[in-house]
Structure 1
Amino acid sequence: MSASPDILCIGSVLWDIVGRAPSHMRQGSDVPGRITRLPGGVAMNIAMTLARFGLRPALLSVVGRDPEGDELVARAEAMGLSVAHLYRSDDLPTDRYMAVEGANGLIAAIADAHSLEQAGAKILAPLVNGPLGSAAAPYEGLVALDGNLTLALLEDIAAAPAFARADLRVAPASPGKAERLLPFLQHGRAVLYVNCEEAGLLCKREFATSRAAVEGLLARGARRVLVTDGGRASAEGTQDGIIERTPPEVMVTRVTGAGDTFMAAHIAAEARGAGREEALEAALKAAADYVSGEIGT
């Protein structure tokens, strides 16, 4: 991809190994189903969705120089994603994510993103002192950042001059990593994308609705936030007000990657010039299409 990217997607780029069963599951269940291996990771999922909406995303992450990494890079290129700025490691293996889903949603998941954590600031070299920007000439475009990075690196990014002019969109990788977003709660430029559980972890309290979660995050100093709540109403808010929309009702066939699809679709809608209400509705529709299986992987 020779053209300049429309957005930088920073974070996890890995293989998703997902087992899905059509029946309800519980701890210890042993049921028939399907197991798939697909390109995944929060940054990768966001980039793939952005490409489907016609944007040119570039990936900043680490991928090993192993057969799995070579295959993953080839798949990314085939989807129109820029891989020119990936850090390819000779020593670190390509990361993986494993999940089990039943008809009652996500049962369990394990994210093996140790290579991303060990690579650390190396993945940011093109943006900090390279072809994409520097402290003296910061990158001024869209950046989608995920919470699979270490807390120390996220803290550095929140204060780094190289990110001072970026339109920074931030999401946790999972509820277990939600508190890594704390450096961006009172950040002057960051937009946070979280679900109700993640909002509660950031605010140290439980929220019954997405609106309440938005109110809580804004009270903590957030500039702008979007909060989803499964099939219930989602909310988007700034200090100027809060809007709510209910997602379309669909049959849920998968859940892994739904939040990433929501975030990417919202970013893409705003990049096209959509207003707050239109962008939120577009994001909810895209996420609903994804979980229903209408959008391919």
Structure 2
Amino acid sequence: MTPDILCIGSVLWDIIGRSSIAMRLGSDVPGRITRLPGGVAMNIAITLARFGLTPALLSAVGKDAEGDELVAACLRMGMITDQLYRSEDLPTDIYMAIEGANGLIAAIADAHSLEAAGDKILRPLADGRLGSAERPWAGMVALDGNLTVALLSEIAHSPLFASADLRVAPASPGKAERLLPLLQHPRATLYVNLEEACLIGKSNYASAAEAAEGLLAHGAARVLVTNGGKACAEGTRNAGVIQAAPPPVMVTRITGAGDTFMAAHIVADRRGDARAAALAAALQAAATYVSGEQPS
């Protein structure tokens, strides 16, 4: 089966502790703890599959019990897992977060196996399964910043990605600057929040629109900048910046919201929506997700 899009990056288990109580450092409160398939690439793939697309995952998953269970979950959701790099020596990665009524309290991403696997996860793009240097993959690629700086730099200049429609997201503000090699890629669309935009642009932007203008000035071909419940912006080279406000909703969860926004925008782009309509569709999908109306 030929995939509709490749999702390259972290595929792991999310361990999320959520409480309806506002929390601070040292808080010990009642709540719920869940374990769900996660990771930026995985979260994007989940939303894409929900919209009827067939994503293929390119990542590193251990040949351990946790990895087998994760791959089985991916298959149940309609994803292609044949191209996953399965390692005997590397354990399946994991992400842990604590969320309170006042937002994300803390999170730790253990993506060491993905980083250790390096360019092994890209082999299907070179060996003919999904493409080669002579006939590179020409479809959409969702790429996340959990990859190492060296690998992201390689992707930015690799003939394997010369024809791809690259959709790029940092895994977190702490990894935003890893995307610098891709900032001026002519076929890349960057999806960032305001904090990440400030780090990439090395400026203190006051709004999403200002950040979009700034990143375009730094050479970006296209960028989308979110800012929580405030206005979001989309900027395209030679076409300017547009803005839209997200629908007001009661926030019940945060982890995965940005990935849902990105996936919904990719779907809207794929079906040919105009810029404003695609942005509105992405904001609505993210709002539905954070409100808890859409299943995890």
Tell me the TM-score range normalised by the shorter chain.
over 0.9
How high is the TM-score relative to the length of structure 2? 0.99
Identity %: 72
Structure 2: segments with no counterpart, 5+ residues: none
Q: Distance in 1 between matches of 2:236 and 2:139?
A: 21
Any idea what SS the aligned residue of 2:113 has? helix
Q: Deviations over 1:3-55 (max 9, x none)?
A: 21000000000000000000111111110000000000000000000000011
Q: Distance in 2 between matches of 1:242 and 1:259?
A: 20
Q: How many residues align?
A: 295
Give 1:129 deviation, angstroms. 2.1
Give 1:266 deviation, angstroms. 0.2
| Corresponding letter in the other structure for 1:91 | D
Give 1:208 deviation, angstroms. 1.3
- Give the corresponding residue for 1:49: 47
Any idea what SS the aligned residue of 1:26 has? coil
| Corresponding letter in the other structure for 2:13 | W
Q: Distance in 1 between matches of 2:128 and 2:7?
A: 16
Q: Distance in 2 between matches of 1:175 and 1:161?
A: 28
Q: Distance in 2 between matches of 1:167 and 1:203?
A: 22
Give 1:186 deviation, angstroms. 1.1
Give 1:101 deviation, angstroms. 0.3
- 1:119-158 equivalent positions in 2, closer than 5 A: 119-158=117-156
Q: Distance in 1 between matches of 2:24 and 2:200?
A: 28
- Give the corresponding residue for 1:277: 276
Is 1:222–2:220 an aligned residue pair?
yes
Give 1:60 deviation, angstroms. 0.2
Q: Distance in 2 between matches of 1:79 and 1:272?
A: 21
- Give the corresponding residue for 1:236: 234
- Give the corresponding residue for 1:250: 249
Is 1:16–2:14 an aligned residue pair?
yes
Over the aligned positions, Cα root-mean-square deviation in angstroms equals 0.6
Residue 103 of structure 2, aligned match among 102, 105, 121: 105
| Corresponding letter in the other structure for 1:47 | A
- Give the corresponding residue for 1:174: 172
Any idea what SS the aligned residue of 2:49 has? helix
- Give the corresponding residue for 1:289: 288
Q: Deviations over 1:158-217 (max 9, x none)?
A: 000010000000000000000000011111111000000000000112111100000110
Give 1:128 deviation, angstroms. 1.9
| Corresponding letter in the other structure for 1:127 | L
Structure 1: segments with no counterpart, 5+ residues: none
Any idea what SS the aligned residue of 2:142 has? strand
How high is the TM-score relative to the length of structure 1? 0.99
Q: Distance in 2 between matches of 1:127 and 1:296?
A: 32
Any idea what SS the aligned residue of 2:233 has? strand
Q: Distance in 2 between matches of 1:57 and 1:253?
A: 27
